[in-house]
């Protein structure tokens, strides 16, 4: 896969975004994205190669999930996807220049952090539990509320918020106030 077209901007992300465990881009042939793993058993002197499908774009379906379900029904061995990111703040935390991701449309990419943004801490005013769906966080001094996927299990009193242009991104919830700082986004 050509490297320059695999870098995208934050505004181009289609959530959820999935972190790939592999340190390389998947191989592609005829619209099928896959990883090949090799195994050699010294005791039996047998070599084994396995192709695991990340996405089959020849199958109909608007999303990666639709196509993966179809591929599995057709008997394909799927490449395991273990980490799903639903929020921009989580993506910013996990994105490293050598990490590969795939978004919900099936676009494989790396993200390069190029801009610094201020991380500021605000007192948590209220947590609104959403049974089975996490919570909504209200912070002092910001009219916008933030969604989290789980209700915090420890008492949190501070919210770290990244100011990225006019966008506010929840970076995390904290028990103690940390000093304001800068983050690459």
pLDDT in tens, 42-69: 888 888 899 999 999 999 999 999 999 9
Cα separation, 88 vs 90, whole angstroms: 5
Torsion angle of alpha carbons 60, 82, 35, 33, nearest 10°?
A: 20
Cα separation, 109 vs 13, whole angstroms: 10
Cα separation, 163 vs 181, whole angstroms: 11
Residue 22: the pLDDT is: 81
Cα separation, 91 vs 88, whole angstroms: 5
pLDDT in tens, 99-116: 999 999 999 999 999 999
């Amino acid at each position: 896969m050509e490297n320059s077209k695999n870098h995208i901007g934050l505004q181009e992300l289609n959530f959820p975004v999935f972190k790939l465990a592999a340190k390389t881009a998947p191989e592609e042939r005829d619209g099928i994205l896959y990883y090949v793993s090799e195994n050699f058993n010294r005791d039996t002197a047998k070599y084994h190669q396995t192709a695991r499908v990340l996405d089959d774009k020849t199958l109909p379906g608007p999303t990666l999930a639709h196509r993966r379900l179809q591929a599995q029904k057709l008997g394909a061995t799927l490449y395991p996807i273990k980490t799903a990111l639903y929020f921009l703040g989580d993506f910013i935390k996990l994105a490293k220049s050598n990490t590969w991701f795939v978004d919900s449309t099936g676009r494989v990419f790396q993200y390069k952090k190029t801009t610094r943004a201020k991380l500021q801490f605000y007192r948590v005013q209220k947590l609104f539990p959403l049974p089975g769906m996490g919570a909504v966080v209200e912070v002092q001094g910001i009219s916008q509320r933030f969604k989290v996927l789980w209700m915090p299990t420890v008492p949190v009193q501070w919210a770290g918020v990244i100011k990225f242009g006019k966008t506010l991104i929840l970076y995390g919830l904290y028990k103690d106030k940390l000093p304001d700082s800068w983050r690459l986004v």
